[in-house]
Amino acid sequence: MGNLKTELLTKLKGLAPFEQIVALYKDKNDFFKEMHNYLIGGLVISNPQVFMMLKPIDGASDPHGQWYVKNPDTWYVRWVAGQSQLKAMMDNVNPLPFVMFRRITVNGETKVRTYKWETMYKKVTENER
């Protein structure tokens, strides 16, 4: 996907959360194949306010290709779109010790980062106040 820059993020602002994520893919079929995998082996939540795809993984290994992990310790968040939706995601899944994700900022994509569940939940809860 390469670095996502400010102009793309600006184009995404008027779109529904689902459409924002689809727009990130040059080949839309790649998105739908990926979403199919998350529908079967992960979790997909979509409504007019939020779109998210995530799966439970072994956080010590690369998240790509991990499906049906026997003893997961990390939620790998592939996509979350919508205003302040990380807390909504955390309120709707069973907690695991860690959360792993990559952010898209105006400067491009960040590295994959892992946070303790409790630390992340406190942070997103404080942001809603």
* For residue 9, pLDDT beyond 70: no
pLDDT per residue as tens digits for the range 27-37: 999 999 999 99
CA dist 26 → 34, 86, 104 (Å): 13, 26, 17
* For residue 1, pLDDT beyond 50: no
Please, are residues 18 and 45 in contact by the beta-carbon 8 Å criterion? no
- Write down the pTM of the prediction: 0.81
Please, are residues 28 and 57 in contact by the beta-carbon 8 Å criterion? no
What pLDDT shows up at residue 53? 93
What pLDDT shows up at residue 36? 96
Tokens 């406190």 -> residue: 122
Q: What is the rounded distance in angstroms from the CA atom of residue 62 to the CA atom of residue 50?
A: 26
- The average pLDDT across 100-113 equals 73
pLDDT per residue as tens digits for the range 19-56: 988 988 889 999 999 999 999 999 999 888 889 999 99
- The percentage of the chain sitting over the pLDDT mark of 70, rounded to a whole number, equals 81
pLDDT per residue as tens digits for the range 59-84: 999 998 899 999 999 999 999 888 76
- Beta partners for residue 74, in sequence order: 57, 98
For the chain, what are the domain ranges?
6-127
